[in-house]
Amino acid sequence: MVHLADGVLLLAIKRLNGERSERSLFHVLNGKRSATTLQDAFFYELEPVFGQFPQTTYAYESLLKGLEKRGWLNRKQFKLTEAGDMLASPEAVEDLFNRLGGERRDFNATTWKRLSLFVQTFMSKEHERTFYPVQADRPAEQWVKRLLQLDRDWKVLMQSFHHEIEIALEKIGDPYATAVVYRFTGAFETGLTYEQIASLLDVDAETARLYFLAGWNELLIALPEDAKLRGFTYGLSTERMTYSARESYELFLKGYSFQQVQSQRRLRTSTIEDHVVEMAMYLDIFPLDQFVPAEEIVTIERLRHPNSWALKPIFEEMGNVSYFQIRLVFARLKRGETFV
């Protein structure tokens, strides 16, 4: 049987276009915060699934073998077969894929842990019932304890929370809304497992898990800026740039040169280059011409195939630019800039 979750993974392979390896996708699915993996996710539009399919090496190998056995994947080229391409193409697959929010996964996951544990704790105390925490997460437990110690009218606030969630759920719609609602644990009801939600929605458990991840991501996005629920995101960030790259960026803002940043940070040249590429990927404004001559920028754009982000062909064709410079130009092109 073909499941929507299969289509999502096939679409991830399709987006790589045979230009990256099996291992590259493995690191994306596991959310590895290395420069290469972040760039793969950015250039090949895999950020929604970044870290959303944690896999062991054995499980990943079994997964690829299964896709190959079913005639969906050509592993030698790491590209989809015609049958695999058909399964990755439906609108429902792309819709689910793009809603998953892998680029915000830590923000989403921590907010869910805080809110779900708060709801369970508050409701259980209101009804004087003992309970086992739905989240085995020490930081979330401590956060909720501190929150409940504040002098607030929690009953009124709970009504506000409920109202805000209802409005957001109406915006995102089913099946995403259903997957989110049934994961909550109260005083008398335990949140359903993905298997139980799958039974309700007539899908497999993995698809049900993806519906929840997508639904929760969309719910947080749908909340208005003044929503009281946003209090559960306190201290969290949706920053995509790594902490180390942000530190280098702060030095650049102070007027430090590349060499000065490298000396101050005591890092290798390649590491600072990776940080600069992150800046080019994520910043709205980036001084590209400080790193790549204007004429080379134009040449790189002209040489890039519209459907490819492969560096090597351009590097070999030009001969006078570095991979670092090509990556910088690619980053700005990916953001929609053009120089021709």
Instruction: Match 């995102």 to its residue by tokens.
Output: 172
Give the pLDDT score at 127.
Answer: 77
Question: Could you give the angle at the alpha carbon of 240 between the alpha carbons of 239 and 245, nearest 5°?
Answer: 95
SS3 183: coil
Give the pLDDT score at 93.
Answer: 97
Give residue 306's pLDDT band: very low, low, confident or very high (50, 70, 90): very high
Instruction: Match 């020490």 to its residue by tokens.
Output: 138
Which residues face 73 on adjacent strands?
80
Distances (CA, A) of 155 to 210, 279, 329: 32, 44, 53
Instruction: Match 């259903």 to its residue by tokens.
Output: 178
For residue range 65-84, what is the model confidence (pLDDT) as tens digits? 999 999 999 999 999 999 99
- Name the residue with higher pLDDT: 136 or 81: 81
Lowest mean pLDDT among 29-33, 125-129, 311-315: 125-129
Q: What is the mean pLDDT of residues 309-330?
A: 96
Give the pLDDT score at 78.
Answer: 97
Q: What is the mean pLDDT of residues 33-46?
A: 97
Q: What is the pTM assigned to this prediction?
A: 0.94
For residue range 249-270, what is the model confidence (pLDDT) as tens digits? 999 999 999 999 999 999 999 9
Give residue 125's pLDDT band: very low, low, confident or very high (50, 70, 90): confident
Give the pLDDT score at 51.
Answer: 97
In the predicted structure, residue 110 carries a pLDDT above the cut 70: yes
pLDDT exceeding 90 applies to what percent of the chain? 89
For residue range 8-21, what is the model confidence (pLDDT) as tens digits? 999 999 999 999 99
In the predicted structure, residue 284 carries a pLDDT above the cut 70: yes
Give the pLDDT score at 185.
Answer: 86
In the predicted structure, residue 205 carries a pLDDT above the cut 80: yes
Give the pLDDT score at 74.
Answer: 97
Alpha helix locations (H) across the chain?
4-16, 22-30, 35-43, 57-69, 82-88, 91-99, 105-126, 138-148, 154-172, 176-181, 194-201, 205-222, 243-253, 258-265, 269-282, 294-303, 312-318, 323-334
Q: What is the mean pLDDT of residues 306-327?
A: 96
- What residues have CB less than 8 Å from 168, skipping those under 6 apart? 219, 222, 223
State the average pLDDT for the chain: 95
Segments making up each domain of the chain, as ranges: 4-92, 105-233, 243-334
Give the pLDDT score at 187.
Answer: 67
- Cα–Cα dist 186/98, whole Å: 30
The total number of residues written for the chain in this structure? 340
Torsion of CA 128, 129, 133, 138, to 10 degrees: 30
Alpha helix locations (H) across 103-191?
105-126, 138-148, 154-172, 176-181
The answer to whether residues 118 and 149 touch, using CB atoms and an 8 Å cutoff, is: no
Amino acid identity, position 239: E
Q: What is the mean pLDDT of residues 286-298?
A: 96
In the predicted structure, residue 32 carries a pLDDT above the cut 80: yes
DSSP label at 150?
S
The answer to whether residues 108 and 101 touch, using CB atoms and an 8 Å cutoff, is: yes
Lowest mean pLDDT among 85-89, 147-151, 252-256: 147-151
Amino acid identity, position 1: M
In the chain, what is the greatest distance between 2 CA atoms, to the nearest angstrom?
A: 73
Copy the structure tokens of residue 222. 């749908």
- Cα–Cα dist 262/315, whole Å: 25
- Cα–Cα dist 161/228, whole Å: 7
